[in-house]
Amino acid sequence: MAGIMIVEDDSDMREMLREAFSRRKFTIIEAGNGHEAMARFKSSLVSLVITDILMPDEDGLKVIMKLKESKPDLKIIAISGGGKAGPGNYLSLAKTLGADEIFTKPFSLKALIEKTEELIRSEQCR
């Protein structure tokens, strides 16, 4: 089954996503920040990345740029609650930088899983 990297600094959110996608038989790689994500990405077989935007050390926008530079066809889903500024601006920028889909927190887990499966299927059809 396809590998998914979850990049999320909130450990509860990361755990919820890990459990949901593990039940769907995906191989899961986790990272708590952007630096960790980039280190783990280099040594993994990841089909899709789900990344939070606002994180300490290195934010999700930088992660998206670096991942797309490294693997232009990689599927990326950006998620954000937006902090005090609200999610709109960050998620719009994430889309501009190459995110294939965006979700505002709180989001429907079912919708996220469906979109993830759709993006992975589209990649496998290539």
Residue ranges of domains in the chain, CATH in brackets:
3-124 (3.40.50.2300)
How many Å apart are CA 105 and CA 60, to the nearest integer? 14
Tokens of 36: 């960790």
- Cα separations in angstroms, 112 against 9, 39, 102: 18, 25, 9
| Amino acid letter, 3 | G
Residue 56 vs residues 8, 21, 63, 88, 115: alpha-carbon distances, Å: 10, 24, 12, 19, 27
What is the average per-residue pLDDT within 9-13?
97
Most confident of 88-97, 107-116, 117-126: 107-116
**CA 117, 41, 84 angle in degrees (round to 5)?**
75
pTM of the model: 0.93
pLDDT in tens, 42-95: 867 899 999 999 998 899 999 999 999 999 999 999 999 876 566 568 899 999
**Per-residue tokens: 102:** 């965006």
